[in-house]
């Protein structure tokens, strides 16, 4: 089975990257492309960890089956540009996905993506929310087409996370971020306020 991260990257083609750049107000698509690669690795790593834990794995599997069957991938440009609507609003709820996967680590994650790509922290935060439904869609499509149970899903996700490390990507750093105890702080609230201003 092909690497999950590579599958996400195939959907985040140059046209999609340009559309994402417009949406977050970024001038340099190359920065956005680099940031998108980091976001993908981070979210796959987070999903892999969630799938391996009894208390969160069932919730992840339920969300994939109910809200993320991969349908969004058929007209990704249309969905991102707002020209196409999805029947299930949870499919494109990037804020909810990121909150679920990263919890109180969103500020640190946005900082890391910014350092990796050169994007500012607020643009990085919004980009995470835009890409999260794509990553979930690819994972959901893999689960559905291969009839994966939770153990099988965990293996596929783990392969994606390890693939990032083998390429010498930022997965090791992201792993350390996800190991941190997310205790929440005022900076997370400031990040969310800044991101809301940016998306208006």
75-105: pLDDT as tens digits: 999 999 888 888 899 999 999 999 999 988 8
Q: How far apart are CA 16 and CA 170, in angstroms?
A: 22
Predicted confidence band of residue 177 (pLDDT cuts 50, 70, 90): confident
Question: Tokens 């929440």 map to which residue?
Answer: 184
Residue 28, Ramachandran bin (φ over 0: left; ψ between -120 and 50: alpha; else beta)? beta
Q: Does the CA dihedral 148-63-35-41 come out positive or negative?
A: negative
Give the pLDDT score at 104.
Answer: 86
Give the pLDDT band of residue 169 (cuts 50, 70, 90).
very low
For residue range 39-65, list pLDDT tens digits in order: 999 999 999 989 988 788 889 999 999
**What are the domain boundaries of the chain?**
4-199
What is the average pLDDT score of the chain? 85
The pTM (predicted TM-score) of the whole model is 0.85
């Amino acid at each position: 089975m092909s690497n999950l991260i590579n599958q996400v990257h195939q959907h985040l083609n140059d046209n999609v990257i340009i559309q994402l750049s417009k949406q977050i107000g970024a001038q340099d698509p190359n920065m956005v492309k680099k940031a998108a690669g980091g976001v993908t690795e981070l979210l796959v790593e987070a999903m892999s960890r969630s799938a391996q834990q009894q208390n969160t794995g069932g919730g992840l599997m339920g969300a994939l089956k109910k809200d993320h069957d991969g349908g969004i991938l058929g007209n990704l440009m249309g969905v991102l540009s707002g020209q196409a609507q999805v029947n299930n609003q949870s499919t494109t709820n990037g804020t909810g996905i990121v909150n679920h996967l990263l919890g109180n680590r969103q500020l640190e994650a946005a900082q890391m993506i910014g350092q990796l790509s050169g994007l500012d922290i607020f643009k990085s935060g919004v980009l995470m929310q835009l890409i999260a439904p794509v990553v979930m869609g690819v994972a959901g499509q893999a689960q559905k087409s291969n009839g994966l149970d939770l153990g099988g899903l965990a293996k596929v996700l783990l392969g994606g996370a390890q693939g990032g490390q083998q390429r010498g990507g930022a997965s090791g750093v992201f792993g350390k971020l996800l190991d941190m105890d997310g205790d929440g702080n005022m900076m997370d609230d400031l990040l969310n306020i800044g991101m809301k201003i940016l998306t208006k």
